[in-house]
Amino acid sequence: MTTSNNPLQPPADAAPPRRHPDAPPPGELLGPHYDQCFACGGGQPHGLHLAARAGEGVSVTAEFTVTEAHQGAPGLAHGGVLAAALDETLGSLNWLLHTTSVTGRLETNYLRPVPVGTTLFLDAHVLAVDGRKIYATATGRIGAPDGPVAVRADSLFIEVKVDHFIENGRPEEVQAVLADPDMMRRARAFEVNP
């Protein structure tokens, strides 16, 4: 039952987050979920190359360094790029839950400009889960894990089946991924989340 009009606030009867028993241990690098992902993939020269690690509970940390390719205003990171970094960090929580989910809503809050050359230290954690709805929040800090807060986000992710990607993706890329047994084994493993 929804008790608030804010779609990013978990309802009072939502379940607390539960770390999956097979979640990677705290400190482990999660690796890209897809080599061509703009945010985490190694195959995108101008991508963020964001590297996320498992944290304690249902949390992750991540880092990415702002380059010339990420500018909006001269010498400053584009707000959409920063939103992508927050989105990706939040999406990495899938590894801790062993679910496959996509962003339904993402509300970003920009507190400080982020200059080119900055390494942004991000963290995200799940607040609650309500059926297919995953409520999570993220913060990005300048220069260090305890640096000044530059950006924050609240989000609602929605759990989907792997078929979501097969049915909606462009056929060329979908076929290439379907032909990669490692990728498919990992993606399908997330679907049988007990």
- Select the span of 21-29, 68-76, 145-153, 164-172 touching ligand 3VV (CB under 6 A): 164-172
Q: How far is the CB of 75 from ligand 3VV (least distance, A)?
A: 26
**Cα distances (Å, whole numbers) of residue 80 to 23, 73, 84, 107, 163:** 30, 12, 6, 12, 28
Q: What stretch of H or E contains 78?
A: none
For ligand 3VV, which residue of 21, 45, 131, 194 counts as binding (CB under 6 A)? 131
Query: According to CB under 6 A, which one of 33, 53, 98, 125 is a site residue for ligand 3VV?
Result: 33
Q: Does residue number 165 form part of the binding site for ligand 3VV (CB under 6 A)? A: yes
Nearer to ligand 3VV, 66 or 156 (CB): 156
Instruction: Compose the 133-162 pattern: x for residues touching ligand 3VV by CB under 6 A, - for all others.
Output: x----------------------x-x-x-x
Per CB under 6 A, does 11 bind ligand 3VV?
no
For residues 100 and 91, the answer to whether their CB atoms sit within 8 Å is: no
Q: Which CB, 39 or 142, lies closer to ligand 3VV? A: 39
* b/e 100-133 (16+ beta carbons within 10 angstroms → b): bbebeebebeeeeebeeebebbbbbbbbbbeeeb
**Which of 3, 109, 132, 145 touches ligand 3VV (CB under 6 A)?**
132
Give the nearest distance from C-beta 85 to ligand 3VV in angstroms: 10
Give every strand in the sheet of 119-130, ordered side by side: 51-54, 59-65, 119-130, 133-142, 149-159, 101-110
Site string for ligand 3VV, 70-109 (x = CB under 6 A): -----------------xx--x--x-----x-xxxx----
Read off the tokens for 71. 């500018």
What is the distance between the alpha carbons of residues 40 and 47, in angstroms, rounded to a whole number?
A: 7
CB of 8 to ligand 3VV, least distance (A): 8
As given in the structure block, the two tokens for residue 75 are 């010498």
Residue recorded with tokens 């496959």:
100
Note the Cα 92 to chain centre separation in Å: 4
| Calpha distance 26→75 (Å, rounded) | 34
Interface with ligand 3VV by CB under 6 A: which residues? Answer: 7, 33, 87-88, 91, 94, 100, 102-105, 131-133, 156, 158, 160, 162, 165-166, 169, 174, 177-178, 187
